[in-house]
Amino acid sequence: MSFTVIFNLILTVLTVFTGAVWAVDRFVLSPKRMAAAAAGSMVEAKPGAFVEFFGGLFPVIAAVFVVRSFLYEPFRIPSGSMIPTLHVGDFILVNKYSYGLRCPVGSCKLVEIGAPTRGDVVVFIYPNTDPADSNRGNDFIKRVIGVPGDKIQYSGKTLTVNGIVATQTPATTQDDAGYNDVRVHENFGGVEHDILMKPERRMDPYSCPFVQPDGDNFEYTVPAGHYFMMGDNRDGSNDSRCWGTVPEANLKGRAVLIWMSWDHAKLRPVLSRIGTVIR
């Protein structure tokens, strides 16, 4: 069970518990105290320490619960699979209602609102449920390349979806491009962003064995209710080429904003990235 799941479970339990204490005091105990005080009883009109503490926590915990469960959830970028769009150390906000309101714990959906579109940057629960897989249950972030029914082709480092080629032009900067990397500007069906590629690198069946034995040259039709994900660091991403598509039930929300970025090497915030809208 991942840290996020445990935290959400604890937050849900605390919300229910403090809410119950607040409700009992508000509608049962408080009227009795007021009536006793009005009758001249020596019973103290204020609640006891236990009720005062936990009942007082309820509004704060309830606000955090609503915002985190149904509006926005913070997420930290743990790997370089989305470079150059997202860096290791970026802290982002995830819009939780873009793809429907879901249960705070579990994957049930309460209200249908929308669905991912090609090019969205999405946080989701890693789909492989093999107990031996160390990533099982973790949150991942990738870009949606294919929605249900899309025919995806990937050849020569170029994406084609439903016969439409994602055009590539030289990027205006080579920032974030490491050894043998090339930064390229990609227009993916009107969604424009930069990607990183290693022109000479070829994926091997050991690094990508599950869905696409040849991760550099394949055709794939996305099944109903699933989404095909890839990282913007095209040759440095563990994604749907390796572990398959993501079920709709695993979606958590759309990444919308970098609210903080921390340079772990220099131990300081990266001010230029704070407030960046994710595209």
By annotation, the residues acting in catalysis are 81, 142
What are the counts of helices (DSSP H) followed by strands (DSSP E) for the chain?
A: 4, 17
Question: Distance between CA 134 and CA 261 in Å, rounded?
Answer: 26
In this structure, which amino acid lies at residue 98? S
184, 171 Cβ separation under 8 angstroms: yes
The verdict on whether omega for the bond into residue 209 sits within 30 degrees of 0, i.e. cis, is: no
Measured N-to-C along each axis, helices 3-24 and 49-66 cross at an angle, to the nearest 10 degrees, of 130
The verdict on whether omega for the bond into residue 199 sits within 30 degrees of 0, i.e. cis, is: no
Q: Which helix (H) or strand (E) holds 164?
A: strand 164-165
